[in-house]
Amino acid sequence: MEHQAKRAKLVDDDEDAVLKDIEVKVEAKIEDIEEEFVKKDEEMDEDNDNENEDESEAEKAEEDDVDKFKTVYEFQGEKYMYKERAGAVEEREGRIEFRVVHNNGSRESFLILSGLKSIFQKQLPKMPREYISRLVYDRNHASIAVVRKPMTVVGGIAYRPFESHRFAEIVFCAISSSEQVRGYGAHLMNHLKDYVRNTSKIEHFLTYADNYAVGYFKKQGFTKSITLPKSLWKGYIKDYEGGTLMQCTMVPRIRYLDVPKILLLQRTAINHRIKQRQEQFAIEKQVRRKGLEVFKNQKFEPLDPLDIPGVKETGWTAELDSLARKPRKKGEHGIMQVILSEMKNNAAAWPFMTPVSKEDVPDYYDLIAEPMDLSTMEQKLEKDQYDNMESFIYDARLVFNNCRKYNNEATTYYKNATRLEKFFNSKLKEYPEYQHLVS
């Protein structure tokens, strides 16, 4: 055994040495290529005829640049204006471009992939540098990069297509920290969706998102609800500890680069229709009551709100009124969300993510009277079914106790239940008002 361990260590050391050697050669090659592009860049600068503009002309150019972000369109005879993302405007003007890159051996592709690798390594510090390099240069993977002309990579997405299974895995996604306010991320994802759908049979994306990326992916149409059959992706995509698996299913017949304008046109159409209805049922044309004179003698019967001129036309209903009067969620609701999210991201949580399958464990529900799991807790939390922290903690305890009741102490499930319970108690202790509830 000792001999095998030493041998395995030697193999690992050899692999590390090879990777470091490749890294050194790659960096050297990048420097050579960058020098070549720097020379070209300098030649372009020499041909620039606008270097001698005076200050007033510069200010005017700046004002014109701001106006470029505003797009005017006409609907039903009226003009509307909306502000485009900087990324879309810069692409239209030719200042940036979105390029799909494969490791095909060309110098230009190599330079772009090297730029992407550097950004991924900087923006994803928890990922091993050698691991990022290996996947970016891997020929089974492809990338789409945001390139500022002439040849500066400012961000991109690396993905691996599984066309026979109709999905692609997004491996890395990052934008340079200095460029993240320009809307490149959303525009980049829209480019990826349009390209992949138009050039392949892929219909879905899967990705593991860390806590910082979940919000971004939600905005891009990703969800934690995985509808793709597990048999299609299990064992094919890389499983990251602490990451949240998310899925995006592309909508047919939609060009994602046009989505912002489509949504704005739909909103405009709805507002236009509302305006027409308001004009049609103008309150001024209704018969008015005499106001306070009705209540002067205090002899009156309760009035149906829908009898008041104009109320019915606004769309008011008793149901909507009761919803509006419903008390807002308490502050502890947010605390429950934080604790549950951190529990799901814990390494010991994997056995408790979904309900126990009756097919896999037929006798489980004969022994366990109150089954509970983290996904059920999340659904109850979203539906505001936890009146207080005590009821939330009760369900969490069910998860741990049910597991220990059904499984033997020597099993991984039993040990993970104890680990997750310890983590859960540590999170409760962070809030002084709930420390007395820690068991």
- Residue 243: its pLDDT value, please? 86
What is the pairing mode between strands 204-209 and 167-175? parallel
Q: What is the mean pLDDT of the chain?
A: 81
Give the whole-angstrom CA distance, residue 124 versus residue 301. 68
- Is residue 35 over pLDDT 50? yes
Give the whole-angstrom CA distance, residue 274 versus residue 280. 10
Which residue in the list 91, 169, 179, 421 is annotated as catalytic? 169
Percentage of the chain lying above the pLDDT 70 cut = 75
Higher pLDDT: 82 or 338? It is 338
| pLDDT tens digits, one per residue of 194-242 | 999 999 999 999 999 988 889 999 999 999 999 999 999 999 998 888 8
Task: Tell me whether residue 169 is one of the annotated catalytic residues.
Answer: yes
Task: Return the SS3 of 98.
Answer: strand
- In order of their start, the domains of the chain are 66-257 (3.40.630.30), 285-326 (no CATH), 331-437 (1.20.920.10)
- Is residue 16 over pLDDT 70? no
pTM above 0.85, yes or no: no
Range scoring the smallest mean pLDDT among 61-65, 121-125, 241-245, 373-377? 61-65
Distances (CA, A) of 303 to 289, 294, 307, 309, 422: 12, 11, 7, 12, 58
- Is residue 9 over pLDDT 70? no
- Residue 360: its pLDDT value, please? 87
Higher pLDDT: 408 or 45? It is 408
Q: Residue range 256-261: average pLDDT?
A: 85
- Is residue 7 over pLDDT 50? no
Range scoring the smallest mean pLDDT among 62-66, 314-318, 387-391? 62-66
| pLDDT tens digits, one per residue of 37-64 | 445 444 444 444 443 344 344 344 444 4
pLDDT class of 31 with cuts at 50, 70, 90: low
- Residue 204: its pLDDT value, please? 96
- Residue 117: its pLDDT value, please? 95
Q: Closest Cα to residue 240, out of 211, 282, 200?
A: 211
Which of the listed ranges 42-46, 75-79, 278-282, 435-439 does the model predict with the highest average pLDDT? 435-439
- Is residue 283 over pLDDT 60? no
Q: Residue range 125-142: average pLDDT?
A: 93
- Residue 57: its pLDDT value, please? 46
242: left (phi over 0), alpha (psi -120 to 50) or beta: left
- Residue 24: its pLDDT value, please? 55
Handedness of CA 20, 24, 29, 34 (dihedral sign): positive
- Residue 432: its pLDDT value, please? 84
